[in-house]
A and B are shown apart, each in its own frame.
Chain A
């Protein structure tokens, strides 16, 4: 299009400047990324081949792949943390999608509700609360002596004190519940967006054709809303995989290792034990997992784009 509308003299100037312009526009971002991301990442990969601890005062010692072998073969380490993390991710995403989806349907068609904006603000507030504050305060809410949950369970079921965060069989699920409280509104938001993307004309057509609701759902609603829902699920999957500052103030990964997710373990090894070589190798493994998840995310996005430009 440019070729048609621009006179020749202009066009040549345009192409001469183009490379310089592209470079000038990208330079700041590239600088930021090379300094704060590329160099550190290369440093990380390099360091993962060394035995290096900040506390020992010894210079880094090249050990090849030994850090990786140590992590992958150790009896009590990464596999347990990973399976715990994926259980966490799976449970969190399932509960949040189902509950959030349900609430999304519930809020669908509330356009004329009095005070809708305030109600939605209240509903979405858990998402923007500082995770550190959330975690700390939920320790109080869960407290076996002073906590309100224990008060309610005593009053309603006459049960003894329940130590939600100290009991090894409960801690994981208590932490999970807080994550669900925090992020179910996000899936509600996504469901509302997905429902909003369904063309009204098709919904009206279904209404006129008297398509029953249970058939309307897969035929009309899911057809249009599935990409937004899938993006929501993917974003939640990736985000809950990273969960860290919500759990630290609640349990610090305990009791035992019951709430120790990969991010917490890495945080502890790197910044409490200062096992830099080992931690770097651990971080490289997490990097590979994250790249895989990002690729899936991008793949789904591209599917959507292709569909949009195709139709």
Chain B
């Protein structure tokens, strides 16, 4: 390719990427505008940036609790889910107990059901047992919802680790615990990372379950965005743009750092490879 052709090709690709990013850039730009600048007609592309929105956001007393909830719920749920799923995936991959295929199918099917259908009976159960608005029970439900994803991803990776490692360990007198955690686990680190990242992003962005089976104490940021939309008789655009700008930092940094795992994560581990 000639140099000019090459540069125009790359220029085109960058343009495509920027077009897709433009709405997000608009959100971030809005977060540095005053309320009247946001609502200005015609829209302002050049303006004096202000940090007032951020100052105002962190003056809301409940914001730290909401961010804390977001972090705690997603981290807690995903850590539980990845550990539990790793054990199950090891079992499915190595021992293939009767009904493995059926169980894997059952696990996946829960991710295929529309949210309200999943949460409806759980809601009734939580109300009946008084589990609503509790961090622990919400976290456990999120963990359950993260398990299918993780089992599928991890089983794919475990199938790729030769059983000779297990056999060698057994012959040398290693216990199963030693083999599982010391011999096999380090080899599926990419799978663990992929499962971790993608479930974290899912719980991070999840709104419905938090709204239905959570409550005032457990509300996370998507919940806050949904209910905090209106203020002073209008839509509170400064709050939405500021909160969103802060909130997307984590997922965007993750997909930059872990681009290798993007494909694995986005396809339940059914497709492997790099982009």
Contact A151 B41 (CB under 8 A): yes
Q: Which of A1-9, A71-79, A164-172, A206-214 contacts B (4 or more CB under 8 A)?
A: A1-9
Quick one: which of A44-68 are within 8 Å of B by CB? 44, 47
Contact A26 B271 (CB under 8 A): no
Q: Chain A contacts of B122 at CB under 8 A?
A: 36, 40
| CA of A139 to CA of B40, assembled, Å | 16
Q: Which residue of B lies closest to A228 (CB)?
A: B271
What 0/1 readout, one digit per residue, does chain B (200-243) give for beta carbons within 8 Å of chain A? 01001101100010000000011001100100000101001101
Most buried by A among B43, B143, B235, B254: B43
Contact A128 B20 (CB under 8 A): no
Q: Chain A contacts of B113 at CB under 8 A?
A: 242, 286-287, 290
Q: Which of B54-62, B184-192, B256-264 contacts A (4 or more CB under 8 A)?
A: B256-264
What 0/1 readout, one digit per residue, does chain B (100-131) give for beta carbons within 8 Å of chain A? 00000111111011111100111111000000
Task: Judge whether B63 is part of the interface by a CB distance below 8 angstroms.
Answer: no
Rounded to whole Å, the gap between the CB of B127 and the closest CB of chain A is 8
| CA of A151 to CA of B39, assembled, Å | 12
Kindly identify which residue among B9, B38, B273 contacts A196, using a CB–CB cutoff of 8 Å.
Answer: B273
| CA of A10 to CA of B167, assembled, Å | 11
Q: Chain A contacts of B108 at CB under 8 A?
A: 294, 297-298
What 0/1 readout, one digit per residue, does chain A (229-244) give for beta carbons within 8 Å of chain B? 0011001001001101
Q: Chain A contacts of B30 at CB under 8 A?
A: 140
CB within 8 Å: A-B pair count = 285
Given contacts A40-B125, A148-B43, contact A196 B24 (CB under 8 A): no
| CA of A127 to CA of B141, assembled, Å | 23
What 0/1 readout, one digit per residue, does chain A (274-311) give for beta carbons within 8 Å of chain B? 00100110110011001101110110010000000000
Task: Judge whether A153 is part of the interface by a CB distance below 8 angstroms.
Answer: no
Contact B176 A290 (CB under 8 A): no
Q: Chain B contacts of A133 at CB under 8 A?
A: 27, 222, 225, 240, 243-244, 247-248
Quick one: which of A1-31 are within 8 Å of B by CB? 1-2, 5-7, 10, 14, 17-18, 21-22, 25-26, 28-29
Given contacts A2-B167, A129-B24, contact A279 B248 (CB under 8 A): no
Contact B88 A25 (CB under 8 A): yes
Contact B176 A37 (CB under 8 A): no
Q: Chain B contacts of A155 at CB under 8 A?
A: 42
Kindly identify which residue among B140, B225, B255, B275 contacts A132, using a CB–CB cutoff of 8 Å.
Answer: B225
Given contacts A25-B88, A29-B85, A37-B110, contact A280 B120 (CB under 8 A): yes
Rounded to whole Å, the gap between the CB of B142 and the closest CB of chain A is 10
Tier of interface size on chain B: 35 or more
Contact B20 A126 (CB under 8 A): yes
Q: Chain A contacts of B163 at CB under 8 A?
A: 1-2
Rounded to whole Å, the gap between the CB of A234 and the closest CB of chain B is 10
Quick one: which of B121-153 are within 8 Å of A by CB? 121-125, 140-141, 143-144, 147, 151
| CA of A126 to CA of B114, assembled, Å | 21
Rounded to whole Å, the gap between the CB of B27 and the closest CB of chain A is 5
Task: Judge whether A80 is part of the interface by a CB distance below 8 angstroms.
Answer: no
Contact B114 A136 (CB under 8 A): no
Q: Chain B contacts of A279 at CB under 8 A?
A: 116, 120
Contact B208 A293 (CB under 8 A): no
Quick one: which of A248-270 are within 8 Å of B by CB? 248-249, 262-263, 266-267, 270
Task: Judge whether B46 is part of the interface by a CB distance below 8 angstroms.
Answer: no
| CA of A133 to CA of B51, assembled, Å | 20
Q: Which residue of A lies closest to B151 (CB)?
A: A29
Interface set of B (CB-CB < 8 Å, partner A) = 9-10, 12-14, 16-18, 20-21, 23-24, 26-27, 30, 38-43, 84-85, 87-88, 90-91, 95, 97, 105-110, 112-117, 120-125, 140-141, 143-144, 147, 151, 163, 167, 170-171, 176, 201, 204-205, 207-208, 212, 221-222, 225-226, 229, 235, 237, 240-241, 243-244, 247-248, 251-252, 254-256, 259, 262-263, 266-268, 270-271, 273-275
Query: Can you list 18 A-B contacts with CB-CB less than 8 angstroms, sorted by A residue number?
Result: A5-B167, A6-B167, A22-B95, A29-B88, A32-B84, A33-B144, A36-B141, A47-B121, A117-B259, A123-B17, A124-B255, A190-B271, A196-B274, A197-B273, A228-B271, A231-B271, A238-B112, A245-B222
Interface set of A (CB-CB < 8 Å, partner B) = 1-2, 5-7, 10, 14, 17-18, 21-22, 25-26, 28-29, 32-33, 35-37, 39-41, 43-44, 47, 103, 106-107, 110, 113-115, 117-134, 136-141, 145-146, 148, 151, 155, 181, 184-186, 189-190, 192-193, 196-197, 228, 231-232, 235, 238, 241-242, 244-245, 248-249, 262-263, 266-267, 270-271, 276, 279-280, 282-283, 286-287, 290-291, 293-295, 297-298, 301
Nearest 5 interchain pairs by C-beta? A40-B121, A128-B251, A25-B91, A283-B117, A263-B114
